[in-house]
Amino acid sequence: MPKPSSRDALLDAGLAVMLEQGYSGAGLRDIAAAASAPLGSFSNHFKTKEAFAVEVIQRYFTLMKEWMEPTLNNQSLTPLDRIKSYLEMISCKQESTGWSRGCLVGNLSLETATQSEEIRQQLSAIFAEWRHFFSVCMREAQQQGQIEADFPPEDMADFLIAGWQGAMLRMKVDRSPRPLQQFKSMAFATFLKEKRA
């Protein structure tokens, strides 16, 4: 009977270790130990650490899309409430880690985008796909008259993601929820302000 592959265990461990220590700080030995896998198993499944990181990032985004199902994709909520629900869910996840981890996509964007073209391309593709989920909500909010239609939904979605990532960066520095709270308050008082009936 063949031994079970250590590939999934390595990817899961890599996600946890990179969230905690970043790309540079995540040693292959540490990841292998966290996965209870032999160090040599890396070369059996991944050509390079960069190739491994690309798969870890995709695994993380798959997890993010699972978080979007009951929030951004929840058709029982209004478009604005879907966005609020998603941001609240992420805030709760950050609270559970002491406001210290942030988002792997944002973290690795800061750390690796100028060092690895392979990782940069994967991050860019994820940002584009992530934008789509928000822009759908914003387009629907405009069509339903919930918010003003002054800006293209895609531009608003990019602005939201960029601002949210900046707030998470400050959250990590301050170890505080305040930057996230400020961002949400400002966003829903300005470009996502609900129109009065």
Which tokens is 184 given?
């949400």
Residue 1: which pLDDT band, with cuts at 50, 70 and 90?
very low
| pLDDT greater than 70 at residue 3 | no
For 17-63, the DSSP string reads HHHHHHHHH--HHHHHHHTT--TTHHHHH-SSHHHHHHHHHHHHHHH
Domain 49-187 has CATH 1.10.150.170: no
- For residue 44, give Cα distances in angstroms to 10, 47, 57, 98, 115: 11, 8, 19, 36, 25
For residues 27-33, give the mean pLDDT: 93
Residue 4 is predicted with a pLDDT of 56
Which tokens is 7 given?
């590939």
* Model confidence pLDDT, tens digit, residues 98-127: 999 999 999 999 999 999 999 999 999 999
| pLDDT greater than 70 at residue 197 | no
- All CATH 1.10.357.10 domain ranges of the chain, comma separated, are 49-187
Homologous superfamily of domain range 1-46: Homeodomain-like (1.10.10.60)
* Model confidence pLDDT, tens digit, residues 38-80: 988 888 899 999 999 999 999 999 999 999 999 999 999 999 9
Do residues 79 and 146 make contact, with C-beta atoms less than 8 angstroms apart?
yes
- All CATH 1.10.10.60 domain ranges of the chain, comma separated, are 1-46
